[in-house]
Chains A and B, each alone.
Chain A
């Protein structure tokens, strides 16, 4: 094997390696998409469950709307056995105006409360999922 042949063989190896890395990288990326899509659906359901829990407790009067802000300000974790991954749930409840906007000054007697739930955690979930619900005091 002369020098030219050796260089050609080396170039072939470099070409194969580059192609292999490129293919593998795209396959890993697609696996990430799969995991991210699945976890996004699960995370959105987790957001719903926190907000529905608040709805249910308010409906049954287990929770008064005036206590919503103190009760739904927390950070907790949730682990599912079928995923073996831990989600972090952050709920932030505040007094707000009728459109869900922030008040210029805090007013605990406001008729309107806003809960924002953000679910993050597993590395495969590329972006946190956030949901907001506006609560209005209707029974005076």
Chain B
């Protein structure tokens, strides 16, 4: 009886040890994935926010304030400017800049597309790992508006997503909200 109890106790302790080690390995793998995610995603979030803010800030150069924004939808925005965003120089021709996300995802998730005259820009054409984008537009008095002609600023909500490697694990998501201003419209008195 005593030997049986000893064997049973050893089996229980051994099983506990095995379970614990397995759990540790899984947790270690998950936390290393999270660290990797944070290291790359925070940089990606910051870059996306900077690019969007800069693109908004250069909108409307040489345009009357009520003709700057031409499309103000909840998931895409388009505006006109005499700034060439590809070469970062003042242009003699008017350009249309559009910000939206791609309809379909690839291995890097969906892409945030910033395009000039229908062609994605070479320096900021694609920013990946985007799941969703939404815009809330404001007029000169900071009141929500849906009329493109009255838009002077916008809240841009970006949701980033990356799938976990482990089967059954939840995808990793982070969000950032950026307030962007049509500074050139404000320079003209808004």
Hey, which bits of chain A sit against chain B, CB under 8 A? 1, 5, 9, 12, 16, 19-20, 23-24, 26-27, 30-31, 33-34, 37-38, 41-42, 45, 48-49, 52-53, 55-57, 59-62, 80, 82-83
Contact = CB atoms under 8 A, between A and B. Distances in A.
Contact of B177 (A9, A12, A20, A80): A80
Contacts, number: 95
- 7 closest cross-chain pairs (CB), A and B: A49-B179, A60-B190, A82-B175, A59-B186, A56-B186, A60-B186, A59-B187
Interface residues of B, number: 40
Contacts of B5: 1
Nearest to A27: B31
Interface string B144-166: 00000000110001010000000
B45 interface: yes
B27 A23 contact: yes
Contacts of B179: 45, 48-49, 52-53
Interface of B: 2, 5-6, 9, 13, 16-17, 20, 24, 27-28, 30-31, 34-35, 37-38, 42, 45-46, 49, 53, 140, 152-153, 157, 159, 174-179, 181, 183, 186-190
